[in-house]
Amino acid sequence: MAKGIELKGVSKVFRHPERGDVHAVKQLDLTVQPGELVTLLGPSGCGKTTALRMIAGFENPTTGRILIGGQDVTDTMPNRRNIGFVFQNYALFPHMSVFDNVSYGLSVKGIPKVERRERVAHVLDLVGLQGMERRFPNQLSGGEQQRVALARVIVTEPSVLLLDEPLSNLDAKRRVQMRSEIRRLQRSLNMTSVYVTHDQEEALSISDRVVVMNLGEMEQEGTPQEIYAHPESQFVAGFIGKVNALPAEVVRVDRDEVTASFGATSFTVCGPSMSIAVGQRVSLLIRPESVDLSSEPDGPAPKGRIVQVTYLGEKAEYDIECDGTQLKAVSFDPARHGMFAQGQEVYLRMQGGSMILTDQ
């Protein structure tokens, strides 16, 4: 039976005699539903690993409580929490075969030999390593070693699976393959999982829910679609995908709409989460794929000049200078739609409905 995880007001302060205190995690409140996969996403040093290690019990929180399956485990030893932890560097036993690496956790638990053999064979089958039982870690590729690390954890049937940047040592192609395999296994075994990564694409592709962290705090949480389409801050918008920030001034405030001007063009944006006043300087955020370029004006549209064209096969990326602001636009399938040239003047068609208004 899958168990949920709850973090209530969890903080971690590392005391440094010289550097002063490091507030690695600040007042983190997080609920992971049974069977759910939640990703902690954020830049290096934002506290992801520390949060994960506290769930595992490798670190004690400075404040707050941690519950697994409704039970307070804050003071419970790691080996009593029934968690599985997949490390970034695999942490396999180099002198043990694949079989022994995977069955180790079962031996420790005193599972009889016959059952051990069966369970190890089943799990190696699940992760696609059948036939490799006798090999040693140094006879395996990075991807295969990561599968052993995963098998070793899954075989113990943990209530909770914790993964710390498990794919960062693999090349790009293997990463994409392994992340969908991890997701498939996680779903079919219904394992409650917390997955740590700094890779936004990985987070979007693998998660039920994404928690974006910055400087030890949760910036925003939501489904991948919510986080991408409705970022609540420039940090989240910029960390997940690319985003343009148009400097603008508020010219009108209605009940659930705000109109702001960027140069000579006004855009009406719906429902900002913050309070706002006429005259205020704000940023209008818009994704490059929501900026359409055209050589003819079609209603009021800012005019810009293309300063760089990057052809990427399936898409073309444009850097555009517009009223002293650098903007990016992307157009897909350029072979079909044609491309603009460097130096060309273009009109930028943007809809207020694709924009998000934030503080400047």
Ligand X SMILES: Nc1ncnc2c1ncn2[C@@H]1O[C@H](COP(=O)(O)OP(=O)(O)O)[C@@H](O)[C@H]1O
Q: How far is the CB of 20 from ligand X (least distance, A)?
A: 11
Query: Which of 9, 21, 29, 45 is the binder for ligand X (CB under 6 A)?
Result: 45
203 contact choice in ligand X, Mg ion, none (CB below 5 to 8 Å, kind-dependent): none
Residues that contact ligand X, how many (by CB under 6 A)? 11
Q: How far is the CB of 88 from ligand X (least distance, A)?
A: 9
CA–CA separation, 285 vs 302, rounded Å?
Answer: 15
Residues 37-66 that bind Mg ion (CB under 5 A): 49
Residue 87 engages ligand X in binding (rule: CB under 6 A):
no
Measured from the CB atom, is 23 or 135 closer to ligand X? 23
Interface segment toward ligand X; rule CB under 6 A; list 43-51, 120-128, 182-190, 279-287: 43-51
22 contact choice in ligand X, Mg ion, none (CB below 5 to 8 Å, kind-dependent): ligand X
Residues 264-283 that bind ligand X (CB under 6 A): none
Query: Which of 46, 246, 286, 348 is the binder for ligand X (CB under 6 A)?
Result: 46
Query: Which of 5, 7, 10, 24 is the binder for ligand X (CB under 6 A)?
Result: 24
**What are the phi and psi torsion angles at 226 (to 5°)?**
-65, -45
159 contact choice in Mg ion, ligand X, none (CB below 5 to 8 Å, kind-dependent): none
Residues 99-118 that bind Mg ion (CB under 5 A): none
Residue 121 engages ligand X in binding (rule: CB under 6 A):
no
Residues that contact Mg ion, how many (by CB under 5 A)? 1
Residue 54 engages ligand X in binding (rule: CB under 6 A):
no
Measured from the CB atom, is 48 or 328 closer to Mg ion? 48
Tokens at 202, concatenated: 């990985």
What strand order describes the sheet that includes 257-262?
Answer: 265-270, 257-262, 244-253, 281-286, 356-359
Residue 21 engages ligand X in binding (rule: CB under 6 A):
no
Residue 209 engages ligand X in binding (rule: CB under 6 A):
no
CA–CA separation, 203 vs 199, rounded Å?
Answer: 6
CB atoms within 10 A of CB 218: 20
Q: How far is the CB of 49 from Mg ion (least distance, A)?
A: 3
Measured from the CB atom, is 49 or 331 closer to Mg ion? 49
Q: How far is the CB of 113 from Mg ion (least distance, A)?
A: 37
Q: How far is the CB of 167 from Mg ion (least distance, A)?
A: 13
User: Nearest 5°: CA angle at 44, between 62 and 226?
Assistant: 90
Measured from the CB atom, is 49 or 146 closer to Mg ion? 49
Residue 44 engages ligand X in binding (rule: CB under 6 A):
yes
Place of tokens 């075969």: 97
Residues at the interface with Mg ion (CB under 5 A): 49
Residues at the interface with ligand X (CB under 6 A): 14, 22, 24, 42, 44-50
